[in-house]
């Protein structure tokens, strides 16, 4: 009986050690997270390196002004996320928000949800955010209203995206390439 307990304890320690080691390639920057939907309960989603994704998206529109970048890696991520969405933060795997330091309408937001079923909710939240930006610019800077009204909002897989800039098609293409 005591031998069985020792074997079980040893097996548990071995399993815990294996879990700590991981199984990614050395130097890999992509992250994986379990998917919580019933249809994909055993699958894992691989997220791109969000820093690289934001770099590529911003570089796709050379007309963007100086931009401030906020991501889920920041210490107050849940607070900054609340400025964009009312979604429960525990549904979010990653997000990034890029906005103009000069107070212009330029803005890019990517929300990566843990459960693909939540992408529609994230998209609806970004649509509400885009509408709030239009209302704000009506009061703050009417010259930015036409730009804010052209916001591109869409979802793709586990992602919801908002793009407000002069070259939204190029930024969207950079996003699509970045998650491929």
Using one digit for the tens of pLDDT, what is the confidence trace for 41-84?
Answer: 336 889 999 999 999 999 999 999 999 999 999 999 889 999 99
160 has a pLDDT exceeding 60:
yes
In a domain, 78, yes or no: yes
In a domain, 37, yes or no: no
Backbone conformation region of residue 157, classed left if phi is above 0, alpha if psi is from -120 to 50, else beta = left
Share of the chain above pLDDT 90, in %: 72
Domain count, the chain: 1
> How many whole angstroms separate alpha carbon 51 and alpha carbon 57?
10
Number of Cβ atoms within 10 Å of the Cβ of 139: 8
> How many whole angstroms separate alpha carbon 32 and alpha carbon 23?
11
Check the CA dihedral 18-22-25-27 and report its sign: negative
* pLDDT score for 142: 97
In a domain, 20, yes or no: no
Specify the DSSP element, H or E, that contains 99.
strand 92-100
For residue 71, list its beta bridge partners: 96
**pTM strictly above 0.85:** no
In a domain, 103, yes or no: yes
In a domain, 27, yes or no: no
* pLDDT score for 45: 86
Tell me what the pLDDT averaged over the chain comes to. Answer: 82
């Amino acid at each position: 009986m005591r031998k069985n307990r020792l074997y079980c304890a040893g097996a548990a320690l071995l399993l815990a050690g294996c879990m700590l080691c991981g199984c990614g390639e050395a130097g890999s920057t992509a992250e994986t997270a379990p998917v919580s939907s019933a249809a994909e309960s055993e699958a894992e989603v691989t997220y791109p390196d969000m820093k690289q994704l934001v770099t590529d998206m911003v570089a796709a529109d050379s007309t963007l002004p100086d931009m401030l970048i906020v991501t889920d890696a920041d210490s107050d991520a849940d607070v900054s996320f609340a400025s964009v969405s009312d979604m429960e933060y525990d549904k979010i795997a990653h997000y990034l928000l890029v906005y103009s330091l000069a107070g212009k309408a330029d803005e890019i937001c990517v929300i990566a949800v843990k459960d693909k079923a939540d992408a529609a909710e994230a998209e609806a939240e970004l649509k509400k955010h885009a509408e709030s930006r239009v209302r704000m610019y009506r009061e703050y800077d009417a010259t930015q209203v036409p730009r804010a009204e052209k916001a591109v909002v869409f979802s793709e897989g586990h992602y919801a995206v908002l793009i407000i800039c002069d070259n939204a098609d190029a930024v969207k293409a950079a996003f699509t390439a970045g998650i491929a």
